[in-house]
Structure 1
Amino acid sequence: MAGGKNSTTITRFILLGFSEFPKLTAVLFSVFLGIYLTTVSWNMGLITLIRMDSHLHTPMYFFLSNLSLLDICYVSTIAPRMLSDFFKKYKFISFMGCTMQYFFFSSLGLTECCLLAAMAYDRYAAVCNPLLYAAIMSPTLCVQMVAGSCITGFFGSFIQLCALFQLHFCGPNVINHFFCDLPQLLILSCSDTFFFQVMTSVLTVIFGLTSVLVIIISYCYIVATILKITSAEGRSKAFNTCASHLTAVTLFFGSGIFIYMYPNSGDSLSQNKLVSVLYTVIIPMLNPLIYSLRNKEIQDALSRCKKRIFSWCY
């Protein structure tokens, strides 16, 4: 910090993490380390399986492999730092380190919003236009949709980063969280944050609401198409192709809405921290499980992979 009451500037923050549970430090570290390693291994395993099995070289699994890669990067912006802080007495993070952590976390989160919307459109094309599916979801369009999601997500977060650098931090520097999230940073700012909050609301509408609208409209058409299917087996098959995506969408957007729309009162900080664990650490671990558990194509690919490995060994 620089001296002088009017010129004091915060150059680093203190992350409290899970300091309210001092007796559970070793247990929480072990649990989160296990979750992180499981997340990386499950998502890497799914990416490898999709790359190795030619039967999975379809638009749906192209998007799924990119979602898995995104989840690995997403959780890696939070988990390694959180794990290293467990046994530190003073959990300092520089102002630049804090803003960069939020930038990458936000970029990947906004990218996932767009990617989930793209996956909803893919499901719409598969269920509502099965005969034209291959023509509609061409490899070029799939690559463009993934690249567009990444570029749009990073651009949206870059706008926030530029605005964040305009804020002044001169008071308390303690963040009651395990990572640098926007609501906690705004609470600590000495600047007028009205413009920043308006800009964030606009970005939320552009990314969140637009993505949700694309998903809702896609599923309205999907449901209407499923209801026209006469056979129970056909309806069940069509529903199963969408159930995993709907589950992932509900978990991701539901937890995000709770955090960023729920007031940050003192009583809610611990509750918000627990929900943050859900969408920063738990959901990236669950996504490959959600998409694989009832997916016959994934299970068949696993069987083929096991047979191939067995034939190599013997």
Structure 2
Amino acid sequence: MESSGGDAEAPRRGPRVLVVGGGIAGLSAAQRLCRHPAAPHLRVLEATAHPGGRIRSERSFGGVVEIGAHWIHGPSQGNPVFQLAAKYQLLGDKELSEENQLIETGGHVVLPSVSYASSGGSVNPELVMEMGNLFYSLIDKSREFLHEAEAPVPSVGEYLKKEISQHVASWTEDEKTKKLKLAILNNFFNIECCVSGTHSMDLVALQPFGEYTVLPGLDCTFPGGYQGLTNCIVASLPQDVMVFNKPVKTIHWNGSFQEAGSPGETFPVLVECEDGGSFPAHHVVLTVPLGLPTSSAGSSLDLSLSSWRHCRTRRYFCL
């Protein structure tokens, strides 16, 4: 097994635990488990050759280019990513300043100073601001159904389009201006899809939409690259915890599996990898992306890992 990490050997006095996925969630789970008083015999199975999942900083271009995760959204004390970045001294004085942490952004993307239409001509900034104010006022209203017994429509997209259609009916401008307004609103729709991690707001449920909260703090980046965060977490783990190039194929549970090296001992879980290798364990922590298609049948979970290695779902997370 290929491994990477710190200097200590992985403790083996506790139960055998496998973490599937070496992204930020899997690494954080491993770090927490290693700190437990009854530290388990732990392994993290990562499908690729490096830890971090979609967190990857590329330096072959003469600087730092983020291939995946880029920003710390809401860098303040309530953000666990910010806390870790501060702990590992990965941020600058400006990002760590109390002033920066107190800035309230409201969760709305800052309007551009200049906008262009597909024809190449610039769009009146006052028109962009008008449509931006309309769109984000409706976004704020769409968060008000969290504690309601029932939402008026199933999705955020349906709600926004219904509300916008009522506004369109009252517009008195010429057809060209109306089409431009709708194009601007469509652009805000696309931006909101990026924020919500979806290709359509019709797929985002309206009633729980208000659960999303925006932390204070002006969004910031890692001066030395986001990957510095995962590198620090990996360095804190025992040396033989990480196992790379081990895409998982199937997880079997509720069984009674044995291992040649542990005669007489049985394990309720067996993790099979695409290369034919298998790992028996007492427990498995599954940290694959939220968008990973899976199928469950009986006591076996087929992870369709050919999709996992290419799936990179943009989604916020908590540690």
Q: TM-score range by the shorter chain?
A: under 0.3
Structure whose CA Rg is larger: 2
Greater relative CO (CA pairs within 8 A, separation 6+): 2
TM-score (norm 2): 0.27
TM-score, normalization by structure 1: 0.28
